[in-house]
Amino acid sequence: MNGIGTMINKLSLCALSVLAALPVGTVALAADSDMQLQQVLMLSRHNLRAPLADNGSVLEQSTKKSWPQWDVPGGQLTTKGGVLEVYMGNYTRQWLAQQGLVKNGSCPDSNNVFVYANSLQRTVATAQFFVNGAFPGCDVAVTHQDEMGTMDPIFNPVITDGSEAFNKKALAAMAAANEKLSLKPAFQRLEKIVDYKASPACNNKKQCDLSSGQNTFSAENGKEPNVSGPLKVGNSLMDAFTLQYYEGFPLDQVAWGQIKTPEQWKELSAIKNGYQDALFTSPDVSREVAAPLVDYIRSQLVDQDKANAPKVTLMVGHDSNIASLLSALQVKPYDLPDTYEKTPIGGQVVFERWHDAKNDKDLLKVEYVYQSADQLRNADVLSLKNPPKRVTLQLAGCETDANGYCSWDQFSQVLNSALQGTPMQPAAAPQPAAAAQSDDSAEAAATQDAAADKAQTDKAAAAKEKAEADKVAAEKAKADKAAADKAKADKAAADKAAAEKAKADKAAAEKEKADKADAAGKANADKAPAEAAGSDKADSTNAANAPAAANKDETKSAAAATQ
């Protein structure tokens, strides 16, 4: 947590200067007066970070060339990443105000905005900078678990099924996804860029061929899906090159100037996207690793009454969270223009709850909102006139109309279906055939159904209670922190006042002492001339009287002599 505070303090002046330069949004009415935005949940990937595989790991082993230096440790949000997130937050505030969900020029009610981040530096810092951009000067807390540097279970895409059957199924699915990638030309180009045959990995480990090397997948209980081999190496390299481009390194330093055209970027980025697809998007794996996240989203959007739920929720996680979530919800294949990533840095999957006043029903719209590759590299200021990219997503189980809306009830079913068979919502026991049911078996089945319904209802209630408890805990922590900060500030002010009073008293005493000394000195100085003057007068009188006495004596002597 200290690292977060240090970074926030380091960038505070930068953030303030950025905010001062941002355009102030103006309130505008939604285009369709019959459609009213009532609730938004944004699942965001953290913004720009330094490469995860920093020097000494995969990057250093993959080439003899020197890597550019970053101003933060590997995996941490960069200064520019904070600025980019301020821009995204400011734009989001303008868009929400345009739809009438928040007001410009005033802070939102604390119950209407909820911000929740995974407990890593880059995710918490991203959330902080989003809040600075969206609600500058407002007291909007960022909720995260206390232990920083560890994964929050909601955001941790790990395997929880330790059965042999699941392991076999997961490994087969990941291998099959890898076979579909056709990455050989991309790996051949990547080998040339890094001069892989001269790399330490080739010289020391005899791993000299990325284009035909073998990948080994793993799906261990309690761990993220993983792979060793060219796919992992290629993902680390392309991640580093992509981040260099976004950060604004000179082009001759981005992949040492060896990626020259958009076509080359697209070809090479397929390695990074393929890594993500193979590990996190096969149906069985995605449902398994995304279940806690899906369940939490359901608790926020479905289990809670919308009148009591936050109007705006921001969750900040990782690309693996977004990739697995979209697969678990069966989002149809999508294309994001002007970016090479399937889950761009700082991008948000936005779940929007709209109310159709004309037909009195709630609808869902899902959009991917992200900054283009050039907007990231150029650090373009975002606004309603210069917005980020927006792409409407479609769910297989929630048919959309021409404007991208689908039924809210169908969306609820999609969430429930994504959780069926996971620890969040175990599959119901199979029911006996109707023709073979006796009255007793029918009654038993009905009882079983009722029990299953009750279990689901109880689970939903528990989830809602947990969400409310989490919110209460977050608000209490926020209030406790505010009270502690106030007490600390009051004590500091009192200590300062006491110190200043003591200093003033000391100065007054010293001045009084100095004044007395000056007065005494002056009195002594005045007395000395007066005494000197008296002495001079006495001497003069004596001198004047002396001749007269002498004359008198002489007269007496003369008289005596005459007689």
- In this structure, the chain runs to a length of 563
Residue 453: count other Cβ atoms within 10 Å of its Cβ.
11
SS3 420: strand
Does residue 46 carry a catalytic annotation?
Answer: yes
Nearest residue to 315 (alpha-carbon basis) of 285, 288, 340, 295: 295
Nearest residue to 88 (alpha-carbon basis) of 28, 32, 128, 53: 128
Tell me the C-alpha distance between 248 and 240, whole Å. Answer: 13
C-beta separation of 271 from 90 below 8 A: no
C-beta separation of 330 from 395 below 8 A: yes
Given 46, 144, 318, 355, which residue is catalytic? 46
Is residue 279 within a helix (H) or strand (E), and if so which, with residue range?
A: helix 262-280
Nearest residue to 277 (alpha-carbon basis) of 325, 324, 315: 324
Nearest residue to 115 (alpha-carbon basis) of 310, 315, 309: 315
Given 152, 161, 295, 319, which residue is catalytic? 319
Nearest residue to 273 (alpha-carbon basis) of 241, 318, 319, 316: 319
Return all residues near 77 (Cβ < 8 A) that are at least 6 apart. Answer: 7, 46, 47, 48, 49, 121, 122, 125, 126, 129
Tell me the C-alpha distance between 544 and 525, whole Å. Answer: 30
Q: Extract the tokens encoding 514.
A: 């100095």
Q: Extract the tokens encoding 297.
A: 């989203």
The catalytic residue positions are: 46, 319
